[in-house]
Structure 1
C-alpha cells in the first residue's frame, strides 16, 4: 500500500504542457512513479509521485531524480544511492 502521494507539475512543465497542446505536437502522459527509501538495510514504505511527461522522450533515472529534487528539495536525490528496475 502506498502511503505517500504527491503530484509534481512545476511552472516550467506547465508552460511546456500548454505549448504542446496549442501546437498539437507531443502527447503528454501522466506517470505514476513508485520509489522506496532504505535506511540501515531496511526498506521503508513505498512513496508515489505523479508527473506529467512527454511520451516521445522516454524516462531516465536522472529525470526521476530531478523531479524528486523539485518536490522534496534539491539535496534529497544526492542524499541517497540509486538503483532502478
Structure 2
C-alpha cells in the first residue's frame, strides 16, 4: 500500500500525518480505527489523519494537541512524501 504522509517530530513527539479520503474520517470511530491501522507502519507513533473539507482546506483528525499544532502550520510546509507501507514479518 502506498500513502502520502509527513512524518515529523514536534516537541519531542514523532507523529505521522497521513492523507486520506474525506470518507475515511466521516465518523470518529472509523477515523480512530484507520489511524490505529497506520500506527504500526510508523513505529507505533501517533497518527493524525488529514483530508480536504468541502472547500479544499485541510481537516485534521487525531490527538487534540497534535491537531491544534498542525492546524496552525501551513499545509504545504509539512515534509510530504509517498510511503510504501509493508506489513512487518512476524
Same fold (TM over 0.5): no
TM-score by length of 1: 0.31
TM-score by length of 2: 0.30
